[in-house]
């Protein structure tokens, strides 16, 4: 299994963010060995909290707004953070520690 992005959203807003994130992430052409999950948690009122997790580690977390430009911005920045996370893991695997 390579490059899996799971959708654990509950509302249309969360699903729209998932679609935007998946499009931005697929443009990066990064085949990850770990599962990325987009999770949504209902909060007070009509707002939701969206978090992007790799395995069990939270990479990005924010309160969603029903503004399409905001969702596009957050999808692009979140995908860039996930890309950077995987590149750091790749760099750490190449690093050899000598004692």
Per-residue pLDDT of the chain (99 residues; tens, 9 = 90+): 467 888 999 999 999 999 999 998 888 877 777 889 999 998 887 789 999 999 889 999 999 888 899 999 999 999 999 999 988 888 887 776 666
What is the reported pLDDT for 74?
93
pLDDT value of residue 59: 93
pLDDT at 98: 61
Q: What total of structural domains would you count in the chain?
A: 1
pLDDT of residue 66: 85
The pLDDT of residue 43 is: 87
Query: Would you state the pLDDT for residue 39?
Result: 93
Which residues does 62 contact at the CB level (< 8 Å), separation at least 6? 49, 50, 74
CATH code of the domain in which 83 resides = 3.30.160
Query: Domain range for residue 44?
Result: 5-97
């Amino acid at each position: 299994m390579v490059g899996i992005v799971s959708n654990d959203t509950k509302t249309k807003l969360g699903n729209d963010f998932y679609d935007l994130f998946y499009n931005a992430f697929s443009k990066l052409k990064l085949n990850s060995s770990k599962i990325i999950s987009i999770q949504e948690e209902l909060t007070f009122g009509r707002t939701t909290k969206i978090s992007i997790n790799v395995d069990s580690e939270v990479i990005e977390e924010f309160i969603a707004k029903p503004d399409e430009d905001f969702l596009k911005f957050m999808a692009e920045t979140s995908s860039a953070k996930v890309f950077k996370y995987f590149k750091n893991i790749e760099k750490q695997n190449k690093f050899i520690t000598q004692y």
